[in-house]
Amino acid sequence: MKIEKEQFSEELFIELLPLAKKCWEESTKAKGETCAFYGERDFDIEPHIEAYQHLSDKGALVIVTLRDEGLKGYVVGFTYQGLHHQKIKGGIGDSIYIEPEYRSYFAVVAEKFENELRALGVQIIGWPVTPDGPIHEVLKARGYVGDDIVMEKRLCA
């Protein structure tokens, strides 16, 4: 089992995409009626590769992978400079997916991600999660607390 930070590349992006699609499908089911796109989340994800490349070029993108004879999971996140607190550097857990049979490694993958962000000077990490989803409970067990809630409103159909 290999859990390591990897540099963003088009090849890695292509390798991550099938798992990202599984993540999207799983989160669609978990969100249900709580999503602003309820009833319309049957569209595919289309990650913005140039935006991820830009974050990588700035040294703000962190990708941790879980490999065991192929890619079995990942966490992707990025750093940001706090707008309300200029002395605080933050991190966001943007996307995480681990194949069901490898989910016992979630805590190790999350710890590696946290350590990579810590090495970049991050002081606080946020994870947008669905309160009823499995990631919420795992993060709670790792010491994360609910703070703000993201409210969504769809402006156009």
- Range with lowest mean pLDDT among 19-28, 38-47, 118-127, 131-140: 38-47
For residue 38, pLDDT over 70 is answered with no
Evaluate whether residue 156 is within a structural domain: no
CATH of the domain at 77: 3.40.630.30
Evaluate whether residue 53 is within a structural domain: yes
- Residues spanned by the domain of 77: 2-141
**43-73 confidence digits (pLDDT tens):** 677 889 999 999 999 999 999 999 999 999 9
What is the DSSP pairing of strand 71-81 with strand 89-98?
A: antiparallel
Evaluate whether residue 148 is within a structural domain: no
For residue 131, pLDDT over 90 is answered with no
Evaluate whether residue 152 is within a structural domain: no
Evaluate whether residue 157 is within a structural domain: no
Evaluate whether residue 40 is within a structural domain: yes
Tokens of 75: 């966490």
What is the predicted pLDDT for the residue at 28?
65
Evaluate whether residue 131 is within a structural domain: yes
CA distances from 74 to 4, 33, 39, 104 (A): 10, 27, 28, 13
pLDDT averaged over the chain?
A: 88
Q: How many domains does the chain have?
A: 1
